[in-house]
Structure 1
Amino acid sequence: MRTSVFATAEIPSGESYHTLARTTRSRWWTTPLTLLVFAVLLSVLWMGMALAITIVSVIGGSGLTPESVSVGAIATLAFGLASTALLIPIVFFLVRVVQWRRFGSLMSVEGRLRWPWLGRCLVLAVGPVALCLLLSWALSDTLVAGTAPEAVSSVAVSGTGMFLGALLVIVLVVPFQAAAEEMTLRGMVMQLMGSLVPKDSTGATARVLRSPWPGILAAGTLFACLYAAGHPGNVWTTAALVVLGMAMAWLTWRTGGLEAAIGLHLVNSLVQYSLVVYDGRIDEIGTGAVVGAGLPAGAGTPFGLLLTVLQVGLFALVVVASANRRGVRRVSP
């Protein structure tokens, strides 16, 4: 029976998550070609989104009435979040066309997104996120600015209509935005690192690169490094991003898929964005003040860093315990 040369490579058997890109079709030039194509597609995406945001801002926000300003702000929010969500088709193209493997191999060792496990991770994320949110409200009057409950009353300045419109955008787009970031950072980056060394390579360097830790380090710190380059003064936010990124990268390897990282990222982002919009600070979303990386409320201070450590630590404990009880697969069949 004849097989098409364009057929996807099979998922390698008995492999951990970080090595799933090391298929029979992977070559030495696969990783640099993936990075080159990603850079080109990302540049096109940024230019297109910048043009779209400019057009919407001119049309929707150029009027003198408050309604036109609100429409422009909501549209800018939608385009800003969508620009990250559009990483999903880019990553899909890279995995399926450039690397010639199944897109499901990016999601988990089972070659698909494990929906029941994702739902479980979302439920498990609610407790740590709620606990840290309550702690930030209870203790942040003098430690964290802008997260106390009394600041929320400023929503009256923006109006209920704008809040509901922005909240609708957040609920509809943030799940894709959170998933896109995890597919790119904890998924593609980690698996690219794991594919650098062929299976038959020996030696100390090969053993180190074949271990999960280079991929965990790269996937966990890349976004923090990019953020630090653009915001060198926000050291506490950078530190929180490192803690969050390393923990989510380790959980991705430990549970054999992206579900845990997507779960915490999604719950945190929904809470953070909703509070920011309710507080009338919609323009801060996507800036250095409000980072859409799934950090808990109050990030940017030593107290916020402590909250991040507490939150990801509790989440990692309950996720690992639940994964052990449910027999979540860590290696490919």
Structure 2
Amino acid sequence: MRTSAFAPAEVPSGESYHTLARTTRSRWWMTPLTLLVFALLLSVLWMGVVLAMTIVSVIGGSGLAPDSMSIGVIATLAFGLASTALLIPIVFFLVRVVQWRRIGSLMSVEGTLRWSWLGRCLVLAIGPVALCLLLLWAPSDTLVAGTAPEAVSSVAVSGTGVLLGALLVIFLVVPFQAAAEEMTLRGMVMQLVGALVSRESTSAAARVLRSPWPAILASGTLFACLYAAVHPGNVWTTAALAVLGVAMAWLTWYTGGIEAAVGLHLVNSLVQYTLVVYDGRIDEIGTGAVVGAGLPPGAGTPFGLVFTVVQAGLFVLLVVVSARRRGVRRVSP
């Protein structure tokens, strides 16, 4: 059977997740080209979001002057979450067109998103997230005063309509936002690092880069480094992001796919955003105060870092045990 020259490269056999981008069509220049196109598309996305917010603001009756432009809190929330979710088509384009391989190789070693395993990971994430909530709401003399959420809900602040509207946006968009961040960080970044050297190279640097650890550390700490550059004073949040990122990157390599990382990220984000909305702090979502990276509630304090370590460690343990029992594939068939 003849194979079309335009057909995407198949998932290479016998490879770990971080090396799936090293296909028969991969070339040395694909990694820098991918990063360049990614930067250009991000710029276009940013300009598009700004333009859309401006149009919504003008339709809502605001002027074009910067100090007069304003949009509702629900629209601001929707734009903020949707702008991250739009990373999905960008990453798909980079994988399918720039790297010329199947989109499924970004999901798992089986070349597709393993839905049943994703559902299992979502269930496994509930316990660690619930444990952190119990720790957060423990009496202040047990932990630290001021870590529990405020007792003033957004119903009292803005009304029931705002609360329900915000929750609707969160439950509709956050699943895509969580998946987009994991596809980008734990997926594309990890596989870009794993594709830096060819299979034939025998140099010491090549042997190091073939190890999963450079890819795990790069994809696990990239967001923490970016956050630290923008918010240099929030050291506890930066540390928590690094801990959670490395743990989820290791799980992605160990389980051969992004499902576990998406599971914890999604459950954490839904809980965190719901609590923030209930507290009447919708405008803090997406800022340095409330980071949409799947951190447990209470982030930004020393105890938030402790919560992250406990939650990530327990989730890793549960996922590893479940993956072994279910025989989850770790290398491509």
> Same-fold call, TM > 0.5?
yes
**Which residue of structure 2 aligns with residue 225 of structure 1?**
225
Amino acid at match of 1:302: P
Distance of aligned partners of 1:137 and 1:192 in 2 relative to their CA distance in 1, 3 Å threshold: same
**Which residue of structure 2 aligns with residue 143 of structure 1?**
144
Distance of aligned partners of 1:150 and 1:231 in 2 relative to their CA distance in 1, 3 Å threshold: closer
**Percent sequence identity over matched residues?**
85
CA distance in 1, matches of 2:267, 2:152: 19
Structure in which a larger fraction of residues adopt helix: 1
Contact persistence 1:17–1:108 (CA under 8 A): yes
Contact persistence 1:61–1:72 (CA under 8 A): no
C-alpha RMSD of the superposition: 1.8
Distance of aligned partners of 1:296 and 1:167 in 2 relative to their CA distance in 1, 3 Å threshold: same
**Which residue of structure 1 aligns with residue 53 of structure 2?**
53
**Alignment deviations for residues 124-174 of structure 1 (CA, whole Å, 9 cap, x no partner):** 0000001101110114587364x5255243531111110000000000000
Aligned residue for 2:100, secondary structure, equals coil
Deviation at 1:191, TM superposition (A): 0.2
Aligned pairs for 1:89-128 within 5 A: 89-128=89-128
Aligned pairs for 1:266-305 within 5 A: 266-305=266-305
Amino acid at match of 1:143: V
CA distance in 1, matches of 2:149, 2:241: 25
**Which residue of structure 2 aligns with residue 75 of structure 1?**
75
TM-score, structure 2 normalization: 0.95
TM-score, structure 1 normalization: 0.95
Aligned pairs for 1:62-211 within 5 A: 62=62, 72-139=72-139, 143=144, 145=146, 148-211=148-211
Contact persistence 1:22–1:195 (CA under 8 A): yes
**Alignment deviations for residues 178-211 of structure 1 (CA, whole Å, 9 cap, x no partner):** 0000000000000000000100110221110000
**Which residue of structure 2 aligns with residue 11 of structure 1?**
11
Distance of aligned partners of 1:45 and 1:140 in 2 relative to their CA distance in 1, 3 Å threshold: farther
Amino acid at match of 2:257: G
**What runs of 5+ residues in structure 2 fail to find an aligned partner?**
64-68
Aligned pairs for 1:243-282 within 5 A: 243-282=243-282
Contact persistence 1:56–1:76 (CA under 8 A): no
**What runs of 5+ residues in structure 1 fail to find an aligned partner?**
64-68
**Which residue of structure 1 aligns with residue 41 of structure 2?**
41
Contact persistence 2:149–2:279 (CA under 8 A): no
**Alignment deviations for residues 71-105 of structure 1 (CA, whole Å, 9 cap, x no partner):** 71101100110000000000000000000100000
Greater mean alpha carbon deviation, residues 54-63 or residues 35-44: 54-63
**Alignment deviations for residues 274-305 of structure 1 (CA, whole Å, 9 cap, x no partner):** 11011110000000000000000000000000
Greater mean alpha carbon deviation, residues 131-140 or residues 207-216: 131-140
Amino acid at match of 1:75: A
**Which residue of structure 2 aligns with residue 22 of structure 1?**
22
Contact persistence 2:53–2:71 (CA under 8 A): no
CA distance in 2, matches of 1:313, 1:230: 27
Distance of aligned partners of 1:61 and 1:74 in 2 relative to their CA distance in 1, 3 Å threshold: farther
Aligned residue for 1:138, secondary structure, equals coil
Contact persistence 2:155–2:162 (CA under 8 A): no
**Which residue of structure 2 aligns with residue 66 of structure 1?**
none
